[in-house]
Amino acid sequence: MPGNSDIEGARHTSERLAQSAREEWLRQQRRDAYVNFYNAARVLFLLLVETAEAAAEGNWVRSEEVRQAARAMGDASGVLAMEATQRILEGADSLSSHISNLDNDMRCFDHAAPGSDLRAAGRTWRREIRSIYEESEEWLAHCREELHH
């Protein structure tokens, strides 16, 4: 017949296993939310890169894909808000704002008057793109760090 210490030991082991399973489940939820946000932001970012490159050459091409990608990034941000730690959420909010601001700047050219300096805007957007890229790499590094601790 098991003694009290045996029962207590088994209960303690069971609680540790349950806690470990909960932590792994939460880590997977966060990983999925981080990946979904990063992928959505990256799709929008790449579309904005294409737009900036075309603008720098004097061509204005903006597709419905940009609007769809912006909505997808917003949706992914909502999920992230439920799963992320404060540090990751703040970084994602900053990255999302940075990308959205660039998108808004570009949207102004949807109805720009002929003769607007599209090439100059494209060169400015290229600098902004470099900054967004660096910010996204930093955010991704924070995500990796968090998930591996």
* CATH number of the structural domain spanning residue 117: 1.20.1440
Residue 76 host element (H or E): helix 64-83
Alpha-helical regions (H) of 84-117: 86-107
The per-residue pLDDT for 118 is 83
- What is the domain range of residue 98? 4-147
Is this structure's pTM higher than 0.85? no
* Total tally of structural domains belonging to the chain: 1
For residue 1, is pLDDT > 60?
A: no
Strand ranges (E), the chain: none
Indicate the pLDDT class of residue 36, thresholds 50, 70 and 90.
very high
Query: Token pair for residue 120?
Result: 């100059």
- The single residue listed with the structure tokens 């579309």 is 47
Question: Per-residue b/e over 12-48, b at no fewer than 16 CB within 10 Å?
Answer: eeeeeeeeeeeeeeeeeebeebbebbbebbbbbbebb
For residue 11, is pLDDT > 80?
A: no
The per-residue pLDDT for 80 is 92
